[in-house]
A and B are shown apart, each in its own frame.
Chain A
Amino acid sequence: MIDLTFSGAIKIGALPISLQYVRTLEALDGPLLVEFQSKAGDTFLYYWCEREQDINRWLIVRTPTQDLARYLVGVTNARELILQCRDGFVYLVDIGKTRTPINIFFIGVDSLPLHYVPTEQSYHGFAVNIDEKQQDVFISEQLDYQEVTTDYPRRYLQAYGFNALFGPHGDASTLEKIDYKLTQGYVFNTLFRNFRKHIRLDKRASLVGVGVASPGYVRFAVDPAVAADLRRAVAGYLKAVAEINGEITLLSRWVGGREVMEEPAAVRVFLGLCSRLEVDGRLILTRVDSTETAIKSVQSYLNKLRYLADNDTAQTAMLVGLQRREVALDDTDTDDAEDLS
């Protein structure tokens, strides 16, 4: 029986806020953790508590975007989200077969019944709807203002742009041949700006939100498939960092004349590297004037990838949805139905 009379809870007639459904963050045979937004733009989480016959009790907690991002990247757990919420209080709402709440309580987090409070191990799992049209990045206190507002977004968008052209869901059909010399930083910046111009409009990413508080967050509007490809590329880089760095070092030495190798051999190494990075090496070769330029382009992309990966490892800027470790209730794989046979 759901206890409606526990001490510390104050029954109220209606929620003082109007909330709009955003997405289901965790589910197992129905939703368990759901994101809502108020008219003022605040994020609220519905956290499932318990059930009695037709009634489910949900805990509603205001959760700033950066706190939600910290949870989604595994830096904090659900226990902290609730017990250390900014407001110090939550709502408990009983919902039956219809959406109309049956009971609404206002309660301080210190008074919450113990069986509503998750344990220290309550990290993000049962992931659903991560491939949204937004890519959130949790930013820790170590990253300074310049990096949060400029450096990180620029490099993310450059890596994203490269992937949108040459990645698994890429489309470089409108990209003309690159025929200028790649020498210094600003030339590479021009190159990536040029790449961006040729990304299909519906696949382009843009920076849509920055929270520079400590901790903060960065939010990009993205194409879900390209953003997922980029996350996979970062995870792939982290898994094979030694091999990838070895191959790009070899190729850089060849470009600089410090490695003796026939061009076809260099192309083979290049294609192997591209395959490892899940970008279309053959397509890149057709869009540049020389193998050297192709190598320099990929090297530049790799620098962006390394920057994203290093920040993720150092937990200074962490991509939401990146597969870092196995979660106990991993719900992120494709769910194709098939016959039992």
Chain B
Amino acid sequence: MPYAQLEMQEFSDDPRCDWCGLSMYTTERKARAQFAFLLGKFPSARTRYGDHLAEISLTQHHGVQTRPRRNGHFTLYEYDGIDLVRLACLTGPL
């Protein structure tokens, strides 16, 4: 769920558009590498970001996305009514 929808905006002085999107990675390898980095810095990251990885084959009908960065990260802004959970396929624990 996008950060903005969680209504956890402790620091809403500086809202950002990408808090209304979903963070995704282009490959499983890149997602795992980023999560490992995240865990090193925020050891309880699983309590915030979850503990499993899922794969989704996105198409242009699902929404708009940002250009992937070198680390594979991009933000997806899904179209209204799109249920991404139904499309997700669990790949394993993080």
Contacts and interface: CB of A to CB of B under 8 A. Distances in A.
Nearest to B39: A119
Q: Which 5 A-B pairs have the closest CB atoms?
A: A50-B44, A328-B37, A30-B3, A341-B60, A122-B41
Contacts of B13: 21
A101 to B, nearest CB: 10
Contacts of A49: 42, 44
Interface residues of B, number: 45
Contacts of B3: 29-30
A95 interface: yes
Contacts of B9: 30
A121 B66 contact: no
Interface of A: 21, 23-24, 27-32, 34, 46, 48-52, 54, 56, 58, 78, 95, 97, 99, 114-119, 121-122, 125, 128-129, 326, 328-331, 333-341
A330 B70 CA distance: 8
Interface of B: 2-3, 6-11, 13-14, 16-19, 22-23, 33-34, 36-38, 40-44, 47-49, 58-67, 69-71, 73, 75, 77
A116 B43 contact: yes
A328 B64 contact: no
Contacts of B44: 49-51, 115-116
Contacts of B2: 29
A28 B47 contact: no
Given A29-B2, A31-B10, A99-B10, A119 B66 contact: no
Contacts of A129: 14
A58 B42 CA distance: 11
A337 B71 contact: no
Contact of B10 (A78, A95, A328, A341): A95
